[in-house]
Amino acid sequence: MSSAYLTGDLPGIGGRIKDHPADFIVEEIPLYPAGGVGEHCYILIEKSGATTLEIKNSLARALGVKAMDIGYAGLKDARAVTRQRFSIFGLPSDRLRGLELPNARIIEITRHRNKIKIGHLAGNRFIIKIRHDDWVAHGGSVTDSLHRAEEILRRLINSGVPNFFGPQRFGMRGDNHLLGLVLLRGDAKEFMDRWLGDPDPERDHGSVLQARRHYMKKHFDLALAHWPGHLREERRALSILVKKPDHYEKALHAVDATLKRLLISALQAHLFNQTLEKRLSRLGQILPGDLAWIHENGAVFLVGPTEADAQTEQPRADAKEISPSGPMFGYRMTEPQGEPAAMEASVLSEHGLNPEAFRLPRSEKAKGSRRAMRFFPKEPDLGAGTDERGPFIQVGFSLPPGSFATVLLAEIMKTDVQAD
C-alpha cells in the first residue's frame, strides 16, 4: 500500500489495530434483502479465527454438500469478528438448525431465489478499536488523540479517501505484484526463483524459510521435502523441477490459472496505486480527458478535452456524485485522454509494459477496467473508551465494496496498517 497520505499535514494518532479479534468487527451490508423463499438457503454467520474459505469448507463437510454449491459475497479475514452471509443450494433450512461449526455460529437462517456470488455486496460496516501502549508519550492523552482523529476524519468525509489497494492485496510477502510483472514478461525461471526462492528471514519462517534456502542452492528435492503440504501449487511446481531441474517453463505451466490471475490482479492494483499517487494532490479535481466515475452506478463517462468541459463537470465532483477514475490496466481497458492518459501511460512505461502485455493465454489474460480514485465513508462514528485491556479509540464507518478500511485507518494513524 502507498505511504502517501492525503492528510499528510495533519499528525496521526499512531497505535495498533487487531490486538484482539474483537477489536476489529466487520459486517457485510447485503446488496439486496433475502426474499424468504427460494431454492437457496441463506445463513448469516458470525466467525472469528477462521477465514471465509475455511468456513465454506466446514459447511460443506458438515452438511455433505459440494463446496461449489455454497456462495459468498466476499472474503473476510480470520483475525477479526466478522458477520457474512453464505448461500447453500437445495438445502432444507431445518438441516442448519442446531449446527455447530468451529470458530463460528449461525445467527440467522432465511431463503432466496439465487446464489450469493462474489460482489453481491452494498458494502461493509466496520467497528475498530485503535490501541496504543502510551498515549501520553505519543503526544498527549486519549482525548487529544481523539480530537486529532476527528479533524482527519472530517477532512476525509469532505474530500473523499484515496481509494488505494491495501497491503493484503499484495500477499503475505508483499510481492504478489512483482510475481505478476514477471508473469507478463514471460520469464519462467525468474518467476520460479522469486516464488520458490528469495529467502527472507524477516518474512519467511520455519520450514518455508528452509525450503527457500534449499531452492536457491538448486537442492530441489530438499526444498520439496521442507515445503508445507497445504501449499500444493508450490509443491506441484517443485515436483517437476526435482525430475527435470531446468524445465522452468513446464513448472510454470503447471501453476493453477486462478493463482496466476490473482498475481496479475495484484500487479493491476500496484499500477493503480502508483497512478493514484501521481493524482493525489488533485484527487477531487476533474481534468480534461478524464474518465469520470459515477458513484451511484459505477459507470464512467469521458470528460471533454477542454478546460471548460472539466469545469462544467466539477460541481458534480464537489457534490460527491462523480470522481476521477484510475486504471486497472488490461488489453481492452477504456482509456482516458489528455493529461490523465499521459499520466497512466507513464506508469506503464516505467514498468516496461503496454496494454497488449496483458493479453495472456485465455485463462490468465486481463481485459482491464476502471476504478474510482476516491471513496466516501458513510455513517462515521468516533469515540474513546477503556476496557479490561486498557484505553482505546473506536472508529466506525461503512465503506463501498472493494475499498479498504486500512487505507482510512492509515490516514488517521499515520502508521503502516497491515490488515483489513
Give catalytic residues, as residue numbers.
77
How far is residue 372 CA from its own chain's centroid?
15
Give the SS3 label for residue 369: strand
Minimal CA–CA distance to 375: which of 310, 302, 326? 326
* Distance between CA atoms of residues 173 and 175, nearest Å: 5
What cell does 212 get? 527457500
* Distance between CA atoms of residues 380 and 218, nearest Å: 54
Residue 234 forms beta bridges with which residues?
Answer: none
Residue 393 forms beta bridges with which residues?
Answer: 130, 384
Give the SS3 label for residue 418: coil
Phi, psi of 279 (to 5 degrees): -100, 0
**Whether 409 contacts 9, CB under 8 Å:** no
**How many other C-beta atoms lie within 10 A of the C-beta of residue 387?**
12
What cell does 242 get? 526435482
* Distance between CA atoms of residues 192 and 87, nearest Å: 38
